[in-house]
Structure 1
Amino acid sequence: MKLVLYLLVVLVCGACTSKEINEKRQNRRANIVNVKDDVKEIDTEDVLIGAVAQPYMCGEYLAVIDYKSVDNLVHVFDKHTFKHILSLGDRGQGPTEIAVIGSIAWNEKEHDLYVTDNGQRKILRYNLDSLLNDSLYAPTVKLKFGNVPFPDDYYYINDTLSYGSFVETSISSFKQTSGKWNMITGEAELIDYVHPADKKKRVTFAVSPRYNTLVECNRRYDLISLYNLDGELQCNVYGPNWDENGDGKEHFVDAAICGDKIVVSYIGEDWNHNDGARILHVFNITGDYLKTLDIGRRINDLCYDEENKRIIMNLDDEYQFAYLDLEKYISN
């Protein structure tokens, strides 16, 4: 009897300490919906923006980084009407200028826009309320980076918690991974999981505090990895182009969590010779494939307007910026 009880304890403890990685294998993603005619152009009026641009949703605003601009690097629009409100971010080497712009993040509570300067390794704080009311307003330095990992893109919660995508470099390697970040201490808790097939992790990330979900979409493999917000791997999702040996193709480009859906732009063609992402794959929050939206245009970057249920896109097309109303495509 004692031996039986001992064996039962060993089995129970083993079940508690070992956790299998949940895997989903999708051999087809063929529920394709042509939405090209539903893509609506965004008129940026007289604001000239270069071809390399990244949209961000910031509260009531749509902010666009213009990476090639020679003066103002960020343009701010009303997200409902797309009316231009102001431009900010002087290019330069000065204390309130931006040498090499990285990403931006939004502090909804304070109405602060945080702009990362990768060149001077700092984040500038622009208070939009002050900018709108004071023509002489100048940004302040939110923080300066030391030689520590910091996110190349991130979602701000508060000064002690952000979720981001980090670039880790060494003499012989370059790797991207996601994790938590504390602005005050500079500490980062990085996800240490790397798929066994992936020697040079390249990902785009999205996060949803509401659904306790962080998504990494792989650029070099047809692979999506889902984590909880503690960085624990929940599921690997393999697509029809999955090849553990690598296939030399470029796969996922950008990702957004749209309500309880995951929307990703996808290529699936040769890494060096392709026409860019022209489709959006849609999954539920646990990674099950639902449908594919054929945009019919090259999608450079995207973001999601949750209030208006729109995907905002920077396109390489006759439309430079456009939106797609998602509600009728992802509501069920």
Structure 2
Amino acid sequence: MKYSIGTPPFETYGIADTGSDITWTQCKPCTSCFDQSLPLFDPKDSSSYALVSCDSDTCSSSQSFGCGTDDECQYEVTYGDQSSTVGDLAIDTLTLGNTSFKSVLFGCGHENSGTFSSDTSGIVGLGGDGATSIIYQLDKKIGGKFAYCLSPDANSTSHISFGPDAVVRGTGAVSTPLIKKAEQATFYWLNLERLSVGGKSLTVKSPSVSISGRRAGGIKQASVEGNIIIDSGTTLTYLPSDLYTSFESAVKDAISATPVSDSSGLFPLCYSSDSLEVPTIIAHFTGADVELSPKGTFVEVEEGLVCLTLIPNTNLGADLAIFGNLSETDYIVAYDLVAKTVTFKPSDCSKF
């Protein structure tokens, strides 16, 4: 996602992530950073940049924040794949499109590592934590509304919008309740009632009373309402193991071709890419049936090999499930934190 930070605006790109809160970018001086093809942000070049002090309310507003050695507030975040970022907590002007927002809290990362590509400078936090997420920081201007349309075509541009432009209505639009849990404020939860494969229905059992968060902290909750996290920052969709077993079986039954092995070992179900007939797969959320795009359901992971992008949650724990970004492709996905809904509308996102 393209955005600018500082005065004058310094343009950069970050991963738009509904599964994390703090927005951060790699900053000079970079003590230990991942390779970045974009220029690094230098806070000395911004006249509106200011560090957050240790004794401020902001510094005590999150477990990710703490006092550094120079009486300046530091942040530290570790993600579920063990990628991490450490740096100074600061405020500066954030520019989205033609609109600028003053005094936005963000992280100036000096030690960053993990699975970040060179095309990004960090993360744009679109999560639900009111202390740090830009969705809440910009709330007076955007009213808790944002939407994105993710294209499965690597050669086309996906789109994101905020405020009134993110309201989605019309033919094909379906809405489901957006569920927030106080113990896991970051995440946006949906309620997945069942999956269907080529007309065969698979019921989703209620989650167990103890499930742990995807990101650092291992927070647990005991509510059965809301059983899957919608997360633009996770690529694949993760299903509870028992549901995945019956789901995979149904997909195999619906495809006449013979499965082949994935050399990486990541994907349990793969086929030769020659004219694969992908069955109709529908995620039935409460009040919203979402037919998954075949382009996002099976993707080519190496030449001649396509694999199912819904996999078991083997390393996530218990019944935790995540609805990842490949399953969201070719839909306008609109979040309304005031109405507490997520709306899906089919769209060719490559021509949005």
**TM-score in same-fold range (> 0.5):** no
Larger relative contact order (CA 8 Å, sep ≥ 6): 2
Structure with the bigger percentage of strand:
1
State the TM-score, normalizing by the size of structure 1: 0.29
